Amino acid sequence: MAAEKHASVHWEGAGKTGKGQVSTETGALKDYPYGFASRFEDDKRGTNPEEIVGAAHAACFTMAFAFALEREGLAATKIDTRAAVRLAKDGDGFKIDRIALELDASVPNLDEARFQQIAAAAKAGCPLSKALASVPEITLKATLAG
C-alpha cells in the first residue's frame, strides 16, 4: 500500500518582506499565511515550516505508538504528544538541529519498562522520524500516567 498526500504554497515578494500561503489537499490548511515574522519572530498570525514539521512528527509518532500498543493487545485511554522543533543558524543559512518529542499517555495494564520500549520503538519506526533522520538530535521524553 502506498499513499501520496499533497500540499502547496503560494509566495509573493522577497524573502524577508514577502508573504506566503500554505494549503493542504484535505483543507486542514487552506491559504494559511506564513512569512518571515511568523518564522523568525514572534508573530502568531501565521504558521511556519518548523511548526508544521513538528505537528506532522507528533501526529505520526502518536499514531505509530497507538498501533504499537494495539499489536501488544493494549489501548491507551489518552495519548498527548508535543513536538519542539529548533531552527538554528548554520553558516549563512539555517538548519533544524533538534526535535524534542514529549509523550504523556495513560495505558492500562502496561508497566513502565515496557511502555518506554514501545515508545522508543514507535519513535524509531515512525515514517516522519525516518524522513527526518538527518536531524542531529531527536529526543523523546515519555511519561506513563498512572
pLDDT tens across the length of the chain (146 residues): 899 999 999 999 999 999 999 999 999 999 999 999 999 998 999 999 999 999 999 999 999 999 999 999 999 999 999 999 999 999 999 999 999 999 999 999 999 999 999 999 999 999 999 999 999 999 999 999 97
Are 33 and 89 found together in one domain?
no
* pTM listed for this prediction: 0.94
Are 86 and 136 found together in one domain?
yes
Q: Whole domain around residue 62: which residue ranges?
A: 49-145
Are 84 and 141 found together in one domain?
yes
Would you state the torsion angle of the CA atoms of residues 58, 64, 66, 67, taken in this order, to the nearest 10 degrees?
160
pLDDT, residue 1, reads: 86
Number of domains the chain is built from: 2
Nearest to 146 by CA among 103, 110, 121, 117: 110
CATH number, position 98: 3.30.300.20
**Residue 138 within a domain:** yes
pLDDT, residue 38, reads: 94
